[in-house]
């Protein structure tokens, strides 16, 4: 069969790598892809957000399966449009993807269905939001743009001044455009964070292995949040009983809640969960796989992913065998451009990849790379990541960092403590 993967980041590179291994697959395509994806798939310069362009491409290629990676096209109805065109598309439709695209909706959903989360209030009026903040007094407070803001719409405010400034950025200065016309003000949850992702067809859920993301840009969780500077799977020191509790108290009730509200969810349902003293609570939902969590997860997934994706689209997940996982841990470390998550240069030459031996235990997944003639160049804030398996975390880290140190570009930055604690 022919598979088209929509997107061009590290998550899509890892997906393409895994899908290309399937004996069911003859050809893999990606749009827009990146320089790393080109090694496994023919790429096409169609933006992930270009819904009519992606539908036209999928039809032209006669793709048997289209896998939509990023959140924006899911929220914009790409799966709806592909399905209407008679194509087999993996991912939630727009109504279901609202769980990520509208944080105010997701919080209300949790409240309606008693899914544990932080206390919160949503506002679209700046004066009401500021008055509530002043009256609340309690700090820190989390200020979130309700819509999609590419990971930049969240501020953990430690003072009233910071909270008020974040609210004004959204509601007055329109920093996030339409995504910031509503803000959600939440209690700040404390504890270790875990990413729990499940495949679901709306009836059956198949939880994947756990992962832990590292969002702040600098070591020891200092500095502003990024899309993710690295990830580890399984999430270290996470007791089995807690993963069971997260499945029972968060993932399953969410799938039921979405059915109850006539928004059946089919795809990867991602719960960012904080393990608080009062039990696991939802930090956020995503309607897709995490990036970079996908990279270590794909390294550990031993089963063919394609039958699982097809069964999800067809509502037949119940018939699939549980996926098999490599018990060894995987570590993924991201190399980023100087200045990220603020502004950063692009077009810098990347050297050293040829000196890295890649195999099933070590891969380099590209996030923001491109080709300029024979050169590999930077093309994004997150540039590429090394993912490695090892007999223990120490060995996986040593292998990932050993390879990453061979890759060079001007201003290259990475955290040195991914998986260290
Ligand atoms: N790594 C977090 C995310 O994908 O949203």
Please indicate, yes or no, whether residues 299 and 351 belong to a single structural domain of this protein: no
pLDDT mean across residues, the chain: 96
Among 288, 254, 284, 253, which Cα is nearest to 268's? 288
Please indicate, yes or no, whether residues 200 and 304 belong to a single structural domain of this protein: yes
Examine the pLDDT at 237 and tell me if it is beyond 90. no
Number of domains comprising the chain:
4
Please indicate, yes or no, whether residues 246 and 340 belong to a single structural domain of this protein: no
Residue whose Cα lies nearest atom 3 of ligand 1: it is: 290
> Given this model, what pLDDT does residue 67 score?
98
> Given this model, what pLDDT does residue 225 score?
86
Enter the tokens of residue 349: 């030459």
**Residue span of the structural domain in which 131 resides:** 119-187
Mean pLDDT on 76-96: 98
Best substitution site from 152, 226, 228, 273 to test ligand 1's pocket, by max atoms within 8 Å of Cβ? 228
310 lies in a domain?
yes
Integer angstrom CA distances of residue 294 from 16, 70, 361, 410 = 11, 12, 15, 27
What is the distance in A from the centroid of ligand 1 to the CA of 213? Answer: 7
- The CATH number of the domain where 87 resides is what? 3.40.50.20
Distant-in-sequence, close-in-space partners of 373: CB < 8 Å, separation ≥ 6: none
139 lies in a domain?
yes
Please indicate, yes or no, whether residues 357 and 399 belong to a single structural domain of this protein: yes
Rounded to whole angstroms, how far apart are CA atoms 61 and 58?
Answer: 5
What is the distance in A from the centroid of ligand 1 to the CA of 287? Answer: 10
Please indicate, yes or no, whether residues 7 and 41 belong to a single structural domain of this protein: yes
- The CATH number of the domain where 207 resides is what? 3.30.470.20
Please indicate, yes or no, whether residues 173 and 242 belong to a single structural domain of this protein: no
- What region does 122 belong to: left with phi over 0, alpha with psi -120 to 50, or beta? beta
Atom of ligand 1 nearest to the CA of 151: 5
Integer angstrom CA distances of residue 337 from 37, 154, 356, 377 = 19, 21, 20, 11
Rounded to whole angstroms, how far apart are CA atoms 145 and 60?
Answer: 37
Backbone angles phi, psi at 409, to 5 degrees: -155, 155
What is the distance in A from the centroid of ligand 1 to the CA of 7? Answer: 14
DSSP assignment letter at 86: T
Q: Which of 134, 158, 187 is the last residue of a domain?
A: 187
Mind listing the pLDDT tens digit for each residue in 312-329? 999 999 999 999 999 999
Please indicate, yes or no, whether residues 253 and 309 belong to a single structural domain of this protein: yes
Q: Which of 319, 353, 380 is the last residue of a domain?
A: 319
Mind listing the pLDDT tens digit for each residue in 335-355? 999 999 999 999 999 999 999
Please indicate, yes or no, whether residues 199 and 315 belong to a single structural domain of this protein: yes
Atom of ligand 1 nearest to the CA of 215: 1
101 lies in a domain?
no
303 lies in a domain?
yes
Mean pLDDT on 13-17: 98
Atom of ligand 1 nearest to the CA of 293: 1
What is the distance in A from the centroid of ligand 1 to the CA of 323? Answer: 22
Please indicate, yes or no, whether residues 167 and 143 belong to a single structural domain of this protein: yes
- What region does 347 belong to: left with phi over 0, alpha with psi -120 to 50, or beta? left
Enter the tokens of residue 371: 């080709």
124 lies in a domain?
yes
Residue whose Cα lies nearest atom 2 of ligand 1: it is: 290
325 lies in a domain?
no
Residue 338 CB burial class (10 angstroms; 0-12, 13-18, ≥19): middle
Please indicate, yes or no, whether residues 204 and 314 belong to a single structural domain of this protein: yes
Rounded to whole angstroms, how far apart are CA atoms 24 and 27?
Answer: 9
Atom of ligand 1 nearest to the CA of 11: 4
Please indicate, yes or no, whether residues 212 and 315 belong to a single structural domain of this protein: yes
Please indicate, yes or no, whether residues 336 and 376 belong to a single structural domain of this protein: yes
For residue 236, the SS3 value is coil
Examine the pLDDT at 273 and tell me if it is beyond 80. yes
What is the distance in A from the centroid of ligand 1 to the CA of 292? Answer: 7
Within 6 Å (CB) of ligand 1, which residues are found?
Answer: 213, 228, 286, 290-291, 293
Best substitution site from 195, 365, 381 to test ligand 1's pocket, by max atoms within 8 Å of Cβ? 195
Backbone angles phi, psi at 412, to 5 degrees: -50, 135
* Degrees to nearest 5, angle at CA 284 with 49 and 313: 55
> Given this model, what pLDDT does residue 421 score?
73
Among 147, 140, 212, 205, which Cα is nearest to 178's? 147
- The CATH number of the domain where 167 resides is what? 3.30.1490.20
107 lies in a domain?
no
Backbone angles phi, psi at 233, to 5 degrees: -135, 130
Distant-in-sequence, close-in-space partners of 131: CB < 8 Å, separation ≥ 6: none
419 lies in a domain?
no
Q: Which of 187, 202, 219 is the last residue of a domain?
A: 187
């Amino acid at each position: 069969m022919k598979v088209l993967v929509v997107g061009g980041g590290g998550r899509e590179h890892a997906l393409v790598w895994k899908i290309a291994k399937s004996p069911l697959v003859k050809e893999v395509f990606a749009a827009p892809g990146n320089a790393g994806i080109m090694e496994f798939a023919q790429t096409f310069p169609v933006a992930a957000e270009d819904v009519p362009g992606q539908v036209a491409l999928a039809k032209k290629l006669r793709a048997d399966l289209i896998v939509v990676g990023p959140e924006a096209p899911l929220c914009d109805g790409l799966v709806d449009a592909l399905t209407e065109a008679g194509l087999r598309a993996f991912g939630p439709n727009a109504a279901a993807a609202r769980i990520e695209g509208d944080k105010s909706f997701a919080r209300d959903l949790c409240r309606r269905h008693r899914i544990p989360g932080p206390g919160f209030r949503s506002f679209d009026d700046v004066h009401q939001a500021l008055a509530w903040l002043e009256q609340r007094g309690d700090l820190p407070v989390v200020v979130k743009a309700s819509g999609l803001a590419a990971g930049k719409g969240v501020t953990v405010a430690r003072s009233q001044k910071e909270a008020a400034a974040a609210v004004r950025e959204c509601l007055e200065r329109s920093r996030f455009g339409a995504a910031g016309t509503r803000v959600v003000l939440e209690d700040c949850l404390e504890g270790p964070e875990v990413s729990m992702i499940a495949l679901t067809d709306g009836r059956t859920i198949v939880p994947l292995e756990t992962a832990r993301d590292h969002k702040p840009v600098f070591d020891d969780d200092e500095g502003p949040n990024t899309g993710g500077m690295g990830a580890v799977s399984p999430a270290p020191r996470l007791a089995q009983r807690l993963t069971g509790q997260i499945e029972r108290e968060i993932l399953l009730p969410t799938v039921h809640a979405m059915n109850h509200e006539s928004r059946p969810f089919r795809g990867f349902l991602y719960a960012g969960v904080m393990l608080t003293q009062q039990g696991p609570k939802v930090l956020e939902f995503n309607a897709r796989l995490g990036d970079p969590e996908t990279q270590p997860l794909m390294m550990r997934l031993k089963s063919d992913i394609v039958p699982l994706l097809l069964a999800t689209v067809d509502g037949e997940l119940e018939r699939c065998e549980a996926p098999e996982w490599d018990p060894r841990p995987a570590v993924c470390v991201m190399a980023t451009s100087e200045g990220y998550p603020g502004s950063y240069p692009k077009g810098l030459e990347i050297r050293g990849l040829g000196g890295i031996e890649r195999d099933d235990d070590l891969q380099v997944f590209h996030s923001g790379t491109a080709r300029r003639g024979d050169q590999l160049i930077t093309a994004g804030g997150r540039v590429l990541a090394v993912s490695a398996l090892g007999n223990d975390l120490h060995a996986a880290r040593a292998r990932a960092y050993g390879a990453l140190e061979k890759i060079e570009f001007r201003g290259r930055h990475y955290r040195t403590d991914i998986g260290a604690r």
